[in-house]
Structure 1
């Protein structure tokens, strides 16, 4: 006698409860039979799954080490086949990674690669300008799909934008920015201002509404308005050569800075008279979040320091904290933390990769097979 047939609605309820940071469960369910695969591939199920779990989970890290990039998994996910050893990661956001050709000379021949680790889809973008001398160069990659809230960015192969920020040397002290659109396959004109030290190499950035903010190595934050292409700068909340841009719980611009074992969170707010300024609103004690072993070495060098706030990726409230015994991923909302790198990355850059890994289309077949192996 054949086993009873489970109703599709019941199966969906079971699948909806599978954790997104353990994508192998969805993949195995998809491999059971065609009816199960059909449920998981349904657009309605994918939408409900993203709505239930909110933001996409961090599946791994892209790490630059001595001119090479490698993928460090934090889950069972493995990216599609690609040789990224000759590229340097510049940004990772909205389900894709932006690379720059290694050993680049800004004066000419610069090339970028936009890659989807889920599908293996890639697109190359050439740099059109010749500007000398260049002291610092930073990039940001953004989803440009209409109506996307960037909580999942599941529009495979959808449009994207790239923002480039470059600064000349101390003699001319000019910082410029421009925007690339995959829909027009063209770059905008450069928008420039005297930077007065507002620059940095591979500055981290965060998207808030229609403004893209870059964290300079000095005491200023750069703002690039995507709609108008206006470019400006304003001061950080503290005169501190460090800290990271974050997104506050209500979706505004925030800043996180480290003081010994505390992370102080600031928010950008508008006062009663319309003036815009910073307000301190929270202090997080890392001793309460990190395991004892992370802070056990009694030396100044063992003090944790924020490596990147790229982990926020606009919607995922995650920050990376580096200590002498490794790098920890801290979720600011839940207070949970876990170790993601065994060694500190003082001389490397780390870009968390977040996405929903749901079986869907043929182009992700290779990635799914990696999860099942």
Structure 2
């Protein structure tokens, strides 16, 4: 389900996201999942987990990738797509002709087993060697789309106890312990979101148990390379003017964190039957649409320059079973 949020001519036409135009029709039995989208491309996974499809809706480009044989079988798969351009003059968003990378994760669904990753490069047309990391007891599969912070991808794991990190600089995979549980923190689906914190550090936004506040945690690495989390900021929901009011003394409204817009540093919230984007630095909300609280919302932002600059900004929504 796709919802443009800007007015014409500055919005992506919904027809660009009609999967039937890309020969993907779920009504014919081809179920798909959307692990994520970034830098003008979508990453689609077939329900049988035999292939990945990378689609650029603006240009219509489509590429089919066979899932590596080692990733087939009794495992949970997740992944991300991103632009591979590294030159200083490149601005992400107009990446339609740039090379790209796909990171594919394989996580065991039967107890603590190593997590694995493969990286596909459109420049070479091949998958990288297998990258792995051990996982702790009670480690669960990922539960939200990956977030690109700096030159690393981060996935929050189910239960919010751990974060899985893929570092492009070191071509390494690692498991990070999430911030400590406190009495007023609600550990449920839709209550946590990986974000970018101060100075490009990785952070975590957490809804309080009563949904009246958002706790902002930031991870720091000291000189001994020991990872530590500290509470960076607490935001009172009633101080974000433009959101439906929280009424004291009454049951808290149903609120979920639906996703994160990396390019604009905004979290997507479901509240009072509507979807809002809250820009975190300025605490400015904007109502995007009236939608049910689907599992994940993905931001899609892109622009295209033929003869003159045309800016396209929109948000996609998908319900992943």
Cα distance in 2 between the residues matched to 1:289 and 1:247: 19
Cα distance in 1 between the residues matched to 2:122 and 2:221: 35
Cα distance in 1 between the residues matched to 2:282 and 2:229: 24
Equivalent residue number for residue 202 of structure 2 = 253
Equivalent residue number for residue 238 of structure 2 = 287
Unpaired runs of at least 5, structure 1: 1-69, 368-373
* 3-state SS of paired residue (2:87): coil
* 3-state SS of paired residue (1:250): helix
User: What displacement does 1:191 show?
Assistant: 2.2
Equivalent residue number for residue 221 of structure 1 = 163
Higher-Rg member (1/2): 1
* 3-state SS of paired residue (1:287): helix
**Greater strand percent: which structure?**
2
1:314-343 deviations in Å (ceiling 9; x for gaps):
x32110111232221111122211122313
Cα distance in 1 between the residues matched to 2:77 and 2:142: 5
Equivalent residue number for residue 30 of structure 1 = none
8 Å Cα contact 1:252-1:267 kept in structure 2: yes
Query: Across the two proteins, how many residue pairs are aligned to each other?
Result: 284
User: What displacement does 1:188 show?
Assistant: 1.6
1:231-261 deviations in Å (ceiling 9; x for gaps):
1111111334551110124211111111122
Unpaired runs of at least 5, structure 2: 20-24, 27-31, 182-186, 313-321
8 Å Cα contact 2:83-2:95 kept in structure 1: no
Equivalent residue number for residue 22 of structure 2 = none
Q: For the structure 1 residues 145 and 292, does the alpha-carbon distance in structure 2 shift closer, same or farther, using more than 3 Å as the test?
A: closer
1:175-196 deviations in Å (ceiling 9; x for gaps):
2111111111111232233433
Cα distance in 2 between the residues matched to 1:274 and 1:131: 32
Cα distance in 1 between the residues matched to 2:59 and 2:173: 34
8 Å Cα contact 1:136-1:199 kept in structure 2: no
Equivalent residue number for residue 79 of structure 2 = 139
8 Å Cα contact 2:71-2:106 kept in structure 1: no
Equivalent residue number for residue 45 of structure 2 = 100
1:202-249 deviations in Å (ceiling 9; x for gaps):
632222333222111130111112243221111111334551110124
8 Å Cα contact 1:294-1:325 kept in structure 2: no
* 3-state SS of paired residue (1:355): strand
1:25-50 deviations in Å (ceiling 9; x for gaps):
xxxxxxxxxxxxxxxxxxxxxxxxxx
**Greater helix percent: which structure?**
1
Task: Tell me the TM-score normalised to structure 2 length.
Answer: 0.78
1:47-79 deviations in Å (ceiling 9; x for gaps):
xxxxxxxxxxxxxxxxxxxxxxx2111113124
Cα distance in 2 between the residues matched to 1:149 and 1:164: 28
Q: For the structure 1 residues 252 and 158, does the alpha-carbon distance in structure 2 shift closer, same or farther, using more than 3 Å as the test?
A: same
RMSD between aligned alpha carbons? Answer: 2.8
Write out aligned runs for 1:64-83 (5 A): 70-76=1-7, 77-79=11-13, 81=16, 83=18
Cα distance in 1 between the residues matched to 2:138 and 2:145: 16
Write out aligned runs for 1:234-313 (5 A): 234-239=176-181, 240=187, 242-259=191-208, 260-271=211-222, 275-289=226-240, 291=242, 293=244, 295=246, 298-300=250-252, 302-309=253-260, 311-312=261-262
